[in-house]
Amino acid sequence: MDGEELTQQETELYDRQIRVWGVDAQRRLSKANVLVCGMTGTVAEFCKNIVLAGVGSVTLVDDGVVTEAALSANFLIPPDESVSKGRTLAELCCDSLLEFNSMVRVSVEKGDISSFGEDFFSKFDVVVISSSSLATKKLINEKCRRLLRRVAFYTVDCRDSCGEIFVDLQNYKYTKKKVDEAVEFELKYPSFEEAITTPWKRLPRRMARLYFAMRVIEKFEEAEGRKPGETSILDFPGVMKKRQELCEEESFNESQIPDYLLERLVVGTREFPPVCAVIGGILGQEVIKAISGKGDPLKNFFFFDAFDGKGIIEDISNPDAAS
Amino acid sequence: MDSPPPLSAIKDAKVLMVGAGGIGCELLKTLALSGFPDIHIIDMDTIEVSNLNRQFLFRQKHVGQSKAKVAREAVLRFRPNISITPYHANVKDPDFNVDFFKQFSVVLNGLDNLDARRHVNRLCLAADVPLVESGTTGFLGQVTVHLKGKTECYECQPKPAPKSYPVCTITSTPSKFVHCIVWAKDLLFAKLFGDKAQDNDLNVRSGNASTSDHTEDVFERRKDEDIEEYGRRIYDHVFGYNIEVALANEETWKNRSKPRPIYSKDVLPERLIKQNGNMDSASATDNPSSVSAMASLGMKNPQEIWSLMENSKIFLEALKLFFGKRGKEVGNLSFDKDDQLAVEFVTSAANIRASSFGISLHSLFESKGIAGNIVHAVATTNAIIAGLIVIEAIKVLQKDARSYRMTYCLEHPSKKMLLMPVEPYEPNKSCYVCSETPLSLEINTHRSTLREFVDKIVKAKLGMNLPLIMHGSALLYEVGDDLEEDMVTNYAANLEKVLSELPSPVTSGTLLTVEDLQQELTCNISIKHRSLTLCLCLCLCLCLSLSLSLSVHRDVWWWDFC
């Protein structure tokens, strides 16, 4: 493909995974540049996965400092305060990630991601946003979509023992070998905004309830001017009211978004490490597929709830949205 | 925001992890983050470079060190206040007895072989400790939960045994590349470089009982024989002469395409070694582990599929390097997938044979995977499975029986699900491991020795590690450190006898009791005598006891030949 061979070091280190996805895919990975914003426990898992896989570079954005919540779910953060004092989450995670694979360039970008221009995003092949407000998600997604190059966009959020991944690969063409011939596939992904404006009553009846619950919480946080995850049991009545509002707007039955689910998400804002591992793993796989062009990418939402153990893909696209 | 207290079920838990590899590293990390305060971990392996793409607790500098110990150190760096007890040992070691297992609230497996899994399954049943099992290959994985009396045990559903091939397919009628690999590895490599005292079927041929004495000499290098001449002589014998002999038997090829004999003079008319004798292509101080035929011949790409000529060059060069640079090891070598030269030899030999039989050739990379039984693996699947294991472990600790699930991680979604939970099944009433079901065995008691019974049935099929065999009150065989000398002699003698000629004769209708005290497993086996049925397969070869496939049909077994 590129004509460059893998180095001996790469062949030796990546032997077992090359047996899974092949040499070409490995080459593509080594040239990919990934941007990650929001160093949550889940994102830490994701970064570990793609660094081990051998991507070209990973750029981390998170100027936050160490908190107890961060320490509880993120294994990249050293527990020793004398080490972590005065350093941002991105800087601490960067140091740890560099140890996993010397062939991957891991670095930090300071600042508020919403203020970065399109030029900045054009340097990347993949952008992953976590723990960001609804407004930020839409904004970054739009910036990525306006670029000439196709930049894959993902959001990932875990609350309590649930997780949600959103995927936007825009217009994505890939080939698959069926028996002896190579068949071309094309998928058209909606943006985050297009997807979530899909009228609720148009969605299939048996759908992951977590989707609706997350939208309610999202809207609540936006209306109240809260940072993502900044809720507590005291907000439960407010969240229920928001549910009522939204369900009225959408002519949607409130019982489809059960109280106990909303309560879990409102109260349990801290991540649950086993779910971080599951979601970080699924996201890692998806990004590897998108970079390598190999394998069916998921379209376009993934939900996991440890309570029932199901990992579900939902295809949510607005038929009314202008294409 | 208040931090929620750690679940009380977790804070008093003492868990055992078996395996600190791909799943193990991810699992230890997730257990530690989840607040497990007391973790024990058993792993007998040391760290290799090929582990580092996914076993992220290890670094290049740790290669050669104990996985259990290094994993512990790495995790303590971010959770310094938990207790992790590492054991650099084999879980089948008698020290890990039922009392050892009883101290744990739950056992979590991250193993890579069936044998150890069965052993742990039995110890967990004996200790009545819940077991969470798991496995991954590439993008696929699963997590299962096993509770004595409540769910299936790990062995309630028989697991497929590793693939084996009939001897005649390997020696005479290969049809797939893997057959050529097995030939190159288990026959040719073993014959040339392995223990000479071992039986070897390399020259087993159809119908020809008198493979005369002169074949004994063929593989021996004559005194002062020029290395390239020796190599070509071997080449011509196995790829040329042996094929011609096989072709002479028309019956074999009636419905099969014929192989063609290949001679070195036709493929490589010119000698490889330009100078006489000297290993001058590399210095005398070469590190044995860096000796490589590919390097020697300037071939760099392990993914490349070599031509017949290139394979032949590698074959001769590898042979030359073994004798020239690693002569001391010749006669003692067994195939090791991490031995570059061995992999090169086996690849080239398999490819030449494949060429002869019209089978497609494969690269060194592919051949190494087949010959070394390499499992392809990535970090993400292991991470997902580890998360699922901890979720099940917590349910087990909370004794929330209705919530236990077997979870399957799929590559392609099924009913929109990539992670599919299923309720565990009830125990299989005919499972000989957890339900004490008696077994029957049909066997030729006049031909089969006690040794064959112990090795092939008791150890391999029944998965016992340290067995004890009784016929009524008579002890036919047992293993142990504290046995008296005359008992040991007695057992040694018994092993060589056929069943019907044992001091306490085993014939049709005999009931044998087979036990493994460590696994606390007892099996009662009812013996039925059955005469050998000679199976005359197309190649007219009498496949003797080397190739056997044992079938389990409910609880009755019988020997199938060829």
Residues of chain B positioned with their CB less than 8 A from the CB of A45: 383
Domains of chain B: 8-161+376-422 (3.40.50.720), 167-371 (1.10.10.520), 439-561 (3.10.290.20)
Q: Which residues of B touch A54 (CB under 8 A)?
A: 53
Which residues are paired to A303 by β-bridges?
A164, A312
Residue B66's nearest CA partner among B51, B85, B44, B83 is B44
Q: Shortest CA distance to B409 belongs to which of A18, A277, A160, A159?
A: A277
Which of B33, B112, B299 is the best substitution to test chain A (most A C-beta atoms within 10 A)? B33
Question: Per the CB < 8 Å rule, is A16 touching B300?
Answer: no
Q: How far apart are CA B156 and CA B134, in angstroms?
A: 15
Helix ranges, A32-74 (H): 41-53, 68-73
Residue type, B496: E
Contact B383 A278 (CB under 8 A): yes
Q: Which of A21, A26, A51, A52 to mutate to test the interface with B (most CBs of B within 10 A)?
A: A52
Question: CA-CA distance, B192 to B194, in Å (whole number)?
Answer: 6
pLDDT value of position A318: 80
Got the DSSP string for B319-381? HHHHHHHSGGGTTT----TT-HHHHHHHHHHHHHHHHHTTPPP--HHHHHHHHTTPPP--HHH
Lowest mean pLDDT among A171-175, A319-323, B53-57, B134-138: A319-323
pLDDT at residue B1, rounded to an integer:
30
A293 touches chain B (CB under 8 A): no
Residues of A in contact with B79 (CB under 8 A): 79
Contact B77 A78 (CB under 8 A): yes
B378 and A280 in contact by Cβ < 8 A?
Answer: no
Question: What does DSSP say about strands B38-42 and B467-471: parallel, antiparallel, or unpaired?
Answer: unpaired
Looking at the partner chain, which of B77, B384, B405 has a beta carbon nearest the beta carbon of A278?
B384
pLDDT of residue A226: 94
- B562 labelled catalytic: no
Determine how many CB atoms are found less than 10 A away from the CB of residue B486: 8
Under an 8 A CB cutoff, do A13 and B378 touch? no
What pLDDT is attached to residue A321? 59
DSSP letter for each residue of B9-59: HHHT-EEEEE--SHHHHHHHHHHHHTT--EEEEE---B--GGGTTT-TT--
Tell me the one-letter amino acid at B70. Answer: V
> Is A5 close to B300, i.e. CB distance below 8 A?
yes
Give the bridge partners for A304, in sequence order.
A163, A311
- For residue B311, give the amino acid letter: N
Q: Residue A280 in contact with residue A254, Cβ under 8 Å?
A: no
Question: Tens place of pLDDT for every residue, chain B, 562 residues?
Answer: 333 455 788 999 999 999 999 999 999 999 999 999 999 999 999 999 999 999 999 999 999 999 999 999 999 999 999 999 999 999 999 999 999 999 999 999 999 999 999 999 999 999 999 999 999 999 999 999 999 999 999 999 988 877 889 999 999 999 999 999 999 999 999 999 998 877 777 775 443 444 444 455 788 888 888 999 999 999 999 999 999 999 998 888 999 999 999 999 999 988 876 533 444 444 445 566 679 999 999 998 999 999 999 999 999 999 999 999 999 999 999 999 989 999 999 999 999 999 999 999 999 999 999 999 998 889 999 999 999 999 999 999 999 999 999 999 999 999 999 999 999 999 999 999 998 888 999 999 999 999 999 999 999 999 999 999 999 889 999 998 888 999 999 999 999 999 999 999 999 989 999 999 899 999 999 999 988 543 333 222 333 323 333 322 222 333 322 1
Annotated catalytic residue, options B124, B168, B541, B543: B168
Give SS3 for A38.
coil
CA distance to partner chain B, nearest, from residue A3 (Å): 13
The crossing angle, in degrees rounded to 10, of helices B308-325 and B227-235 is 130
Nearest partner of B490 among B543, B462, B450, judged by Cα: B450
Give the bridge partners for A231, in sequence order. none
Q: What angle do CA A257, A259, A261 make, to 5 degrees?
A: 70
| Binding-face residues of A in 126-145 toward B, CB within 8 A | none
A285 has a chain B CB within 8 A of its CB:
yes
Q: Tell me the angle at which helices A209-223 and A259-267 cross, rounded to the nearest 10 degrees.
A: 50
Of residues B56, B79, B413, nearest to A52 (C-beta)? B56
Q: Which amino acid is at A230?
A: E
CA distances from A232 to A66, A160, A262, A269 (A): 20, 12, 11, 8
Q: What gap in Å lies between CA A277 and CA A253, rounded to an integer?
A: 33
Nearest to B54 among A5, A16, A296 (CB): A16
- B236 class by beta-carbon count within 10 Å (0-12 exposed, 13-18 middle, 19+ buried): middle
Distance from CA of B40 to the nearest CA of A (A): 19
Residue that has been written with the tokens 């991490």 in this structure = B338
Q: Which residues of A touch B375 (CB under 8 A)?
A: 16
Contact status of A280 with chain B (Cβ, < 8 Å): yes
Which domains can be identified in chain A, with CATH numbers? 8-194+271-314 (3.40.50.720), 195-267 (no CATH)
**Token code pair at residue B454:** 């112990």
Q: How far apart are CA B153 and CA B160, in angstroms?
A: 16
**C-alpha distance from B424 to closest chain A C-alpha (Å):** 13
- What average pLDDT does chain A have? 94
Please spell the DSSP secondary structure of B139-165, one letter per residue. Answer: TEEEEEEE-TTTS--TTSSPPPPPP--
Cross-strand pairs, A165:
A156, A302
- The pairing of strands B14-18 and A310-314 is unpaired
User: From A80, which residue of chain B is nearest by alpha-carbon distance?
Assistant: B78
**A residues 75-104 near B, CB within 8 Å?**
75-79, 99-100
Give the gyration radius of chain B's Cα atoms: 27
**Residue A263 contacts B where some CB pair is shorter than 8 Å:** no
A310 inside 8 A of chain B by CB = yes
Q: Which residue of A has its CA nearest to B55?
A: A52
Chain A residues whose beta carbon lies within 8 Å of the beta carbon of residue B373:
none
Nearest 5°: phi and psi at A155? -120, 150
Of B227, B219, B218, residue with least CA distance to B323? B227
pLDDT recorded at residue A60: 98
Closest residue in chain B to residue A208, using alpha carbons only: B416
- What's residue B200's pLDDT? 78
pTM for this prediction:
0.89
pLDDT of residue A214: 97
Instruction: Tell me the chain B residues in contact with residue A19 when contact means C-beta distances shorter than 8 Å.
Output: 138, 369, 374, 376-377
CB pair distance less than 8 Å for B4 and A280: no
Amino acid at A233: I
B chain contacts of residue A49, beta-carbon cutoff 8 Å: 379-380, 383
- Decide the pairing of beta strands A162-168 and A171-178: unpaired
* Identity of residue A68: E
Q: Is the CB of residue B154 less than 8 Å from the CB of residue B146?
A: yes
Q: B74 Cβ partners below 8 Å, 6+ apart?
A: B57, B58
Go through chain B and tell me how many residues it has: 562
Chain B interface test: which of A5, A102, A310, A315 (most B C-beta within 10 Å): A310
- Interface A-B, measured as beta-carbon pairs within 8 A, has a size of 163
Residues 6 or more apart whose CB falls under 8 angstroms from that of B214 comprise none
Beta carbons of B78 and A304 less than 8 Å apart = no
A284 part of contact set with chain B, CB < 8 Å: yes
Name the phi and psi angles at B545, rounded to 5. Answer: -65, 10
**A16 and B CB contact within 8 Å:** yes
Reported as half-sphere exposure (CB side, CA atoms, 13 A), residue A286 has a value of: 29
Tell me if B419 and A73 make a contact (CB, 8 A cut-off). Answer: no
Nearest C-alpha in A relative to B77: A78
Predicted local distance difference test score (pLDDT) of residue A292: 94
Which pLDDT value is given to residue B273? 63
Q: Do B384 and A281 touch (CB under 8 A)?
A: yes
Q: Exposure of A150 by Cβ count < 10 A (0-12 exposed, 13-18 middle, 19+ buried)?
A: middle
Does the structure show a pLDDT above 50 at A323?
Answer: no
- Whole-angstrom CA distances from B114 to B210, B436, B516 are 40, 21, 17
- What three-state secondary structure class fits A195? helix
Chain A residues touching B381 at Cβ < 8 A: 281, 285
Task: Give the three-state DSSP class for A314.
Answer: strand
CB-CB: which of B379, B411, B418 is closest to A311? B418
B418 and A302: CB-CB below 8 Å?
Answer: yes
Chain A nearest C-alpha distance from B55 (Å): 9
Coil, helix or strand at residue A257: coil
A275 touches chain B (CB under 8 A): yes
Considering only alpha carbons, which residue of chain A is nearest residue B54? A52
Torsion over CA of B473, B479, B480 and B485, rounded to 10 degrees?
Answer: 80
The closest alpha carbon to A316, from A217, A218, A190, A206, belongs to A190
| Pairwise CA distance, residues B252 & B449, whole Å | 32
- Whole-Å CA distances, B296 to B278, B279, B293, B352: 14, 11, 5, 20
Nearest to A264 by CA among A312, A227, A210, A206: A210
**Residues 213-242 (A) with a CB less than 8 A from some CB of B:** 232
Name the helix (H) or strand (E) containing B528: strand B521-529
CA A270, B80, B91, B114 torsion-angle sign: positive
Q: Do A274 and B388 touch (CB under 8 A)?
A: yes
Mean pLDDT of A93-119: 96
CA distances to A179, B56, B385 from A175, in Å: 13, 32, 28
